[in-house]
Amino acid sequence: MAWDLDQYDQNGIAMPIRVLPETEAEAIGERVLAVRKSGDDKTAQVLNTSPHYLFPWLYDLATHAKVLDAVEKVLGPDLLIWSSQFFTKDPGDGGYVSWHQDSTYWGLEPNTITTAWIALTPSTPTSGCMQVAPGSHNLDQLPHKDTFNEGNLLSRGQEIQVDVERMETIDVVLSPGEMSLHHVQLVHGSEPNVSSRPRMGFVVRYIPTSVRQLGGRTRAMLVRGEDAFNHFELTSPPTGERTEEGWYAVRDSTARLSAIVMASADQESRHESHKVSSVFTDKKHGQR
């Protein structure tokens, strides 16, 4: 499936987009693996919390010209990184991601938000690649429930309250150095890794500077263009690896985001669940 803007607008996803040579992507993956195996639990844990604040080489990846060029085609010229993290599945660890929409608890408005999923190892059906329901970003926000299930890589185990079996789904197969871009409301998930090697993806969330954070002021990093809105506390790029300034940005960003996400989740949980009409494509009959 070739990359083009029409594909993103229609399906809510574009892929595969080649941004790095395969050998270069695998070398970055080895550096991440070394951090995970270093015995430094604090640093390994922060790989899930905006590590582009701490590691210049991850900042360089998140701001690579080919990455930003593709994001700009979707969001326009003035770009912020809102957050980043790794989604890593080790062989046989049982980790999975339930079907969900990223927009559920993020508290960002409007929904002109895209996520880059950059593969550092092969992402295949066997290794638990992302699966998506093309076009589901047009369905607006769907009801979710928090499961907190063991093995779920999402913080609250949030899961959409719809019958995914009635939705058309595809596998997002990526080689190292390829990425996908997906819309914040696209329904997606993934299965466990049953292959013999880790599945590692660097996930970066980009927003145009016009987007604002509901419920508080959080951190973001200007990576292209100008910020004429001042909706976020801007964070400077890292000047070295694991600097004091970088750690402060991580702690402060985590605290601000956690407060907003928790408040959003608690508010959502107080709402009564409601029935969702059958607006999904029926795979058997091809009707909506």
pTM: 0.85
Higher pLDDT pick, 138 / 75 = 75
Tell me: cis bond preceding 134? Omega within 30 of 0 counts: no
pLDDT band at 3 (very low <50, low <70, confident <90, very high): low
65 Cβ neighbours under 8 A, 6+ residues apart: none
Weakest mean pLDDT among 2-6, 237-241, 279-283: 279-283
Res 1 pLDDT > 70: no
pLDDT at 39: 84
Q: Higher confidence at residue 179 or residue 102?
A: 179
Residue 60: is its pLDDT beyond 70?
yes
Name residues whose C-beta falls within 8 Å of residue 120's C-beta, 6 or more positions apart in sequence.
Answer: 25, 26, 28, 29, 32, 176, 200, 201, 202
Q: Which two tokens stand for residue 184?
A: 């914040």
Confidence band of 189 (pLDDT split at 50, 70, 90): confident
Domains of the chain: 5-270 (2.60.120.620)
pLDDT tens across 143-188, in order? 555 555 566 665 554 556 565 666 788 899 999 999 999 999 899 8
Considering the chain, what is the average pLDDT of its residues? 84
Structure tokens at 266: 């608690």
- Within a 13 Å sphere around the CA of 162, how many CA atoms are in the beta-carbon half? 22
- Whether 286 shows a pLDDT value over 90: the answer reads no
More confident site: 213 or 188:
213
User: For residue 278, what pLDDT is reported?
Assistant: 31
In the predicted model, what is the mean pLDDT of residues 12-31?
96
Q: Where is pLDDT greater, at 82 or 271?
A: 82
| Mean pLDDT score, 237-247 | 96
135 band by pLDDT with thresholds 50, 70 and 90: confident
* Residue 159 burial (CB count, 10 A): 20
Task: For residue 247, give the amino acid letter.
Answer: W
Residue, of 213 and 167, whose pLDDT is higher: 213
Q: What is the pLDDT of residue 7?
A: 84
Whether the predicted pLDDT of 37 surpasses 50: yes
> Does the structure show a pLDDT above 50 at 281?
no
Which ranges of 118-243 does DSSP label H, i.e. alpha helix? none
pLDDT for the residue 139:
78
- DSSP secondary structure letters along 232-271: SEE-PPPSSTT-HHHHHHHHHHHHHHHHHHHHHHHHHHHS
- pLDDT range class, residue 262, cuts 50, 70, 90: confident
Q: Across residues 131-145, what is the average pLDDT?
A: 74
